[in-house]
Amino acid sequence: MTFWEIFLQQLFNGLLIGSFYGLVAIGYSMVYGIIKLLNFAHADIYMSGAFVGLITLSLFANTFVGNAWLGIVLSLLISMLLVGMLGVLIQRVAYRPMLKAPRLSILITALAVSMLLYNTVMLLTQGQYKPFRTGLTHDSFFVGPLRLTETRVVLLVAAIALMIILHLFITRTMYGKAMRAISLDRDTCQLMGINVFQIVAITFFVGSALAAAAGIMAGVYYGTVHFYMGFLIGLKAFTSAVIGGIGIIPGAMLGGLLLGLLESFSTQIPFVGTVWKDVFSFVFLILFLLFRPTGILGRAESERM
Amino acid sequence: MSEVVLELKNVETRYGQIYALRGINFQVKKGEIVALLGANGAGKSTTLKTISSLVPASAGQVLFMGQEITHEQPHSIVEMGVIHVPEGRMIFKELTVRENLELGSFTLKDNVERNRRMEKVFDKFPVLKERHKQMGGFLSGGEQQMLAIGRAMMTEPKVLMLDEPSMGLAPILVQTIMEIIRQINDEGTTVLLVEQNAKAALKMADRGYVLETGEIVMEGDASVLSQDESIVKAYLGE
């Protein structure tokens, strides 16, 4: 392969993985922005999304024979809705009563929710890897030097489409504007007649739905799901959110794509195997924390914990 | 006799064990401008925060048009038509002027009506129209105060509560802002004004209350208060 072939191939891979990171990172960032909580359970919401997708997909398995994509899209939408509601439920039951408590209490609550989710799924699946059967073919085709499969192209397009929809939501709708305003100044938002709890619930819905979408996409991409699948991507997505500037939604997308590209290109460094790609990610995180702790799009703030 | 829009009955507010308001009583009647005067820490801002429910009252009642609103959520109180422009303007510095105004009308679902109100605000504050695409943080102090008032007017409130609108502004701007407040009042909005600048406040107010360490120590017509020797001494800096 020539340099350009490798370059383009890695560029595509990096964007695809990066868009998964980005979709999950958005949830971390949105929740941090609005209630200053690092939602440890977010990675498990992603994992739950993959499993809800698996269930809904198997329900449609016999309904859409011959058109696998229709089944996947339908299962994606239903799962996003269900997992979004799960996110709202978690927020209502676990986090809302803790909002006035010291910051550490709500953080510990988030850890507990995380454990609850992944242990539940572990019990239900007996810790087994579950095949994610989609009925899609994995025939590859070439665009110039780039070797692609239909699946990978559709996944990338879908991920980017979701990010664009989210961006329109936060910049064009009143709810999106209220979300940004709350992350700037919560008390004043109340004086504008904004029901803060309602906006927090919407934030959890959107973040969880996007994580579910990413979970299903990962299922489609890797062909298998597992109760622990959220762990590493959770760390990576959190890294993306920090790199982009936590609390800033476009930053999360940017950080995700950047991290995906970094990992993908790091596999091409001579004498360094692909097993080292996680090391690159976290070194990158450490460098950011050292030299630009506010992230790419973040601005220095006097009060931040 | 015009009707009472806002009434506080024996309202107490505490921060932890510390009393900020020790049972205050006052009324604001329809169409009035009422000034709330007092030194730093007297409880003026707390009074407004208690009415808007940002800080819950620990005892007593807040009534709006005869209906108790003491334990309502802040956003419901805004929906009823009582709006609070907080001290220090508190505009959203990282959102545009237009977005700030839009958020002022968050409770409104109708976009046509939202744009109509925005045009009204732009008529009153042409400078906001010129700068509608800029971030709120780029405005000058006076412009930020105009934005804060404009944002409040987006709800078309029945009662407008202003906390220190003249704070940190040059004297000429204080005059402009006071003129705007009077205009808003002339158009039918009742105004409750908290001011350290007692002179400016009493000049346009109908009535005034003087707070001292959480209690109302004096009340009366603005013209009478501005003649009162002790007030002149304490707050007019003579």
The shortest CB-CB distance from A193 to any of B79, B92, B95 is to B79
C-alpha–C-alpha distance, residues A31 and B88, integer Å: 27
Architecture of domain A3-291: Orthogonal Bundle (1.10)
SS3 of A71, please?
Answer: helix
Asked if the C-beta of A191 comes within 8 angstroms of chain B's C-beta atoms, the answer is: yes
Place of tokens 């005892």: B59
C-alpha–C-alpha distance, residues B137 and B207, integer Å: 35
Residue pair A203/A16 in contact (Cβ under 8 Å)? The answer is no
Banded pLDDT at A151 (limits 50, 70, 90): confident
Q: Which residue of B has its CA nearest to A248?
A: B94
Choose the CATH number for B4-88+157-235 among 3.40.50.300, 3.40.50.620, 3.40.50.9100, 3.30.1130.10: 3.40.50.300
pLDDT tens for A204-256 read 999 999 999 999 999 999 999 999 999 999 999 999 999 999 988 999 999 99
Of how many residues is chain A composed? 305
Instruction: Determine the distance in angstroms separating the CA of A190 from the nearest CA of chain B, rounded to an integer.
Output: 5
C-alpha–C-alpha distance, residues B71 and B52, integer Å: 10
Q: Where are the domains of chain B?
A: 4-88+157-235
- With helix as H, strand as E and coil as C, how does B144-201 read? HHHHHHHHHHCCCCCEEEEECCCCCCCHHHHHHHHHHHHHHHHCCCEEEEEECCHHHH
Q: What's the confidence (pLDDT) of residue A301?
A: 57
Strand partners, B15: B18
DSSP state at residue A241: H
C-alpha–C-alpha distance, residues A167 and A253, integer Å: 10
ipTM surpasses 0.90: no
Residue A181 has pLDDT above 70, yes or no: yes
Residue A142 has pLDDT above 70, yes or no: yes
Q: What's the confidence (pLDDT) of residue A302?
A: 46
pLDDT tens for A19-64 read 999 999 999 999 999 998 999 999 999 999 999 999 998 888 767 6
H helix count then E strand count, chain B: 10, 10
Instruction: Determine the distance in angstroms separating the CA of B65 from the nearest CA of chain A, rounded to an integer.
Output: 19
Half-sphere exposure of A60 (CA within 13 A, CB side): 23
Instruction: Determine the distance in angstroms separating the CA of B30 from the nearest CA of chain A, rounded to an integer.
Output: 21
C-alpha–C-alpha distance, residues A24 and A206, integer Å: 11
Q: Which one has a higher pLDDT value, A155 or A270?
A: A155
Q: Which residues of B touch A247 (CB under 8 A)?
A: none
What value does the mean pLDDT take over residues B46-52?
Answer: 95
Asked if the C-beta of A187 comes within 8 angstroms of chain B's C-beta atoms, the answer is: yes
Residue B214 has pLDDT above 60, yes or no: yes
The CA dihedral of A259, A263, A269, A274, to the nearest 10 degrees, is: 160
The token pair that represents A251 in the structure block:
């930053």
Half-sphere exposure of A134 (CA within 13 A, CB side): 26
Those residues whose C-beta lies under 8 Å from the C-beta of residue B34, and which sit 6 or more positions away, are B26, B28, B191, B192, B193, B205, B206, B207, B208, B209
Ramachandran category for residue B53: left, alpha or beta (phi over 0 → left; psi -120 to 50 → alpha): left
The average confidence (pLDDT) of chain A is 90
**Closest Cα partner for B198 from B234, B158, B148, B149?**
B234
